[in-house]
Structure formats: structure tokens, C-alpha cells
């Protein structure tokens, strides 16, 4: 059995270290690396390692993000029948005076947000150049102190007129324009996107990793589809947030029929007992990935081929 999702490509962005230190979000890099590890595992999602590009810390500049989307567009065009994934984890802010929504890259200037941040319209325009047959976008743009762990996180000081909100509905609608497009937002409105109590992964990414291992599937399924992701995320994320005494509701905006986004357990699918029979194994696997990430330092920009991460066309190996 071929355990490669050979037509899958992904651009994973975890802004992480910001040039203006108070706006840094280190957990976004761990989320990105954990997702990359699960996507490229041949016993799980089966994406080829060289089909994924990672952008983080000093490598997640405005220009690098646009170039990353251009890279994804080129790979999708060359492949013909591509499934493309974009994962963005970082701040998303709304300018109340203009109605413009911004994604904050590494090199954002606190006193020149319009000139240094990535406007949603520019991000959308670049995304529309990705002419993949199937495109899935994850936007983990959070309210309050980035992905604050909880009540003790101090509020961020923002430039006048700006507010921290989840991806506005109008932006999500613009992102999904075209056939075969689906956009996930980790939260809605003024909700925060929360981190698990151990501080290692966000709630949304943790449950996304579960979903990519079959949490929303049935025995006999050989692939994970958009509907499977939504089935699990719509239940698990609000429940985990509620356990913290908070609210977080992920949202899916789609203009497409349901489509596969990855192999399920290397194409073998769930055992006869379904997710209940596979859940402990999946949890242990996520734990090993998180532990491996915690044992290695994440480089701030640049290529570190002997460490965890290589920024560019290559992936990471968790030994």
C-alpha cells in the first residue's frame, strides 16, 4: 500500500519571535512544528517532507510569507492535482478606523502597522494565486495576548484604534473565494485562542492533531476529510475551553464539497473499535512529538540543518 499523500503540499507559518519582543508568541512555533511532524509521518498523514515549507521567527517576515504563498502556488501549479494547506498562527488585529484586518509578521513596526503588517487583502490576493484543486486554510489569529495561557496573562498595549479579534467573517469569506476552498478559524469574534494547561500546544492545534489521526472518522475511512476535521474540532475545542472556564468556538467557512486532506494512519484507517480504540495511541504519539520539540531549541531564523528545524523546503525529523 502506498503510504504517501503525494499530491499534498503545505505552507506552515508560526510567527513566534517578533522583532518587537512584547508581541512574540513562542507557542505558535511549537504548534507549527508539531503539525509538520504529524503531516510528514508516513504512518499518519503521509505528506512528503519536501512538500512542506516552514516559516517561523525571523524567517516569518511579511515578504517571506508572500514568497511562501508564491512557492505554494508554483508547486500546486506544477502538480496539477494538488491539495494545498496553509496554516497561520500569530496575531490578527483589526483597525477600527479603517476596517482593515492585519496579520502581524516578525518584522512588524509598532508605530507603522499599515506599512509593516500584512494586510488581509494582500494575504488574500496572494492566496488566490494558489490554484490548487483543493485548498485548506487554518487561521489561528487570536484575541487578547496572542494565545494567552489564561487569566494571568497581562493585556497587550496596542496602537490606538486597534483591537485584537479572531478572523472577521468578511475576511474568511474573501479567503474562501473560488472552488475547492475551505477556511478554518480557531475562534470567533472577540474570543481568545487558548493554550493547554501545560503550555506546550494551543487547544486548537492539539485537537487538530487528534483529528488528523482519525478523531472525527469512522472505521473503514482511509483518509481524513474536511468534514472529519470539523466534526472533531467543533466538539473538542469548545469542551476543552469550557474546562478552563473559557469559551472558544472554531469556525469553518467553505465553498467546496468535502475533500480529503491527508491519509488516515498511513491509509490503513482506524481499527475496528474506531477512535476509542486508537485514542490512547494517538495521545501518546502527540506526547512524544511535544517532548521531542521540548528537548531541542527552536532556532530564531536561518537554517539549522543539524537541529530541529530547517526553514525552507525541508522539514524536521523527530528522532
All domains of the chain in start order, with CATH: 8-294 (3.40.50.1460)
Of 260, 272, 269, 265, the closest CA to residue 222 belongs to 269
Question: What pLDDT is stored for residue 98 in this prediction?
Answer: 82
The answer to whether residues 138 and 85 touch, using CB atoms and an 8 Å cutoff, is yes
Contact 220, 271 (CB under 8 A): no
Query: How far is the C-alpha of 300 from the C-alpha of 246, rounded, in Å?
Result: 32
Looking at residue 51, its pLDDT comes to 97
Q: What confidence score (pLDDT) does residue 31 get?
A: 93
DSSP H or E segment with residue 69? helix 62-79
Q: What is the mean pLDDT of each run of 10 residues along the chain (319 residues)?
A: 87 94 90 96 97 96 97 95 94 82 92 91 92 91 41 46 50 51 85 85 95 96 95 96 92 83 96 95 94 59 29 32
Strands 118-119 and 181-185: unpaired
- What pLDDT does 253 receive? 81
Burial class of residue 245 in the structure, from the number of CB atoms within 10 Å of its CB (0-12 exposed, 13-18 middle, 19+ buried): exposed
Q: What is the model's pTM?
A: 0.84
* 301, three cell numbers: 531564523
Q: What is the pLDDT of residue 298?
A: 41
pLDDT number for residue 173: 53
Beta strands in the chain (DSSP E): 8-14, 52-56, 83-95, 100-103, 118-119, 134-142, 162-164, 181-185, 223-225, 251-255, 260-263
Please, are residues 160 and 152 in contact by the beta-carbon 8 Å criterion?
Answer: no
pLDDT at 61: 97
**pLDDT of 94:** 79
Amino acid at each position: 500500500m502506498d503510504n504517501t499523500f503525494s499530491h499534498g503540499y503545505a505552507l506552515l507559518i508560526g510567527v513566534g519571535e517578533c522583532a518587537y519582543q512584547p508581541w512574540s508568541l513562542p507557542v505558535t512555533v511549537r504548534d507549527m512544528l508539531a503539525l509538520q511532524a504529524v503531516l510528514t509521518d508516513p504512518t499518519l498523514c503521509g505528506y512528503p517532507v519536501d512538500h512542506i515549507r516552514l516559516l517561523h521567527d525571523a524567517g516569518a517576515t511579511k515578504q517571506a510569507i508572500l514568497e511562501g504563498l508564491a512557492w505554494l502556488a508554483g508547486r500546486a501549479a506544477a502538480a496539477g492535482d494538488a491539495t494545498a494547506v496553509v496554516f497561520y498562527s500569530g496575531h490578527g488585529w483589526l483597525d477600527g478606523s479603517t476596517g482593515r484586518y492585519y496579520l502581524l509578521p516578525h518584522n512588524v513596526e509598532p508605530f507603522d502597522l499599515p506599512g509593516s503588517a500584512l494586510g488581509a487583502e494582500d494575504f488574500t490576493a496572494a492566496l488566490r494565486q494558489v490554484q490548487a484543486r483543493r485548498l485548506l486554510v487554518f487561521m489561528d489569529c487570536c484575541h487578547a495576548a496572542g494565545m494567552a495561557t489564561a487569566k494571568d496573562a497581562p493585556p497587550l498595549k496596542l496602537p490606538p484604534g486597534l483591537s485584537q479579534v479572531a478572523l472577521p467573517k468578511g475576511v474568511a469569506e474573501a479567503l474562501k473565494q473560488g472552488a475547492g476552498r475551505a477556511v478554518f478559524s480557531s475562534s470567533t469574534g472577540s474570543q481568545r485562542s487558548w493554550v493547554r494547561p501545560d503550555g506546550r500546544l494551543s487547544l486548537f492545534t492539539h485537537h487538530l492533531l487528534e483529528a488528523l489521526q482519525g478523531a472525527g472518522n469512522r472505521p473503514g475511512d482511509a483518509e481524513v476529510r474536511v468534514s472529519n476535521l470539523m466534526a472533531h474540532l467543533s466538539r473538542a475545542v469548545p469542551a476543552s475551553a469550557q474546562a478552563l472556564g473559557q469559551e472558544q468556538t472554531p469556525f469553518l467557512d467553505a465553498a467546496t464539497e468535502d475533500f480529503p486532506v491527508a491519509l488516515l494512519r498511513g491509509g490503513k484507517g482506524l481499527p475496528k473499535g474506531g477512535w476509542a480504540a486508537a485514542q490512547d495511541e494517538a495521545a501518546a504519539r502527540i506526547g512524544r512529538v511535544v517532548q521531542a520539540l521540548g528537548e531541542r531549541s527552536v532556532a530564531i531564523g536561518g537554517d539549522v540543518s543539524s537541529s530541529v528545524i530547517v526553514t525552507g523546503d525541508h522539514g524536521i525529523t523527530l528522532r
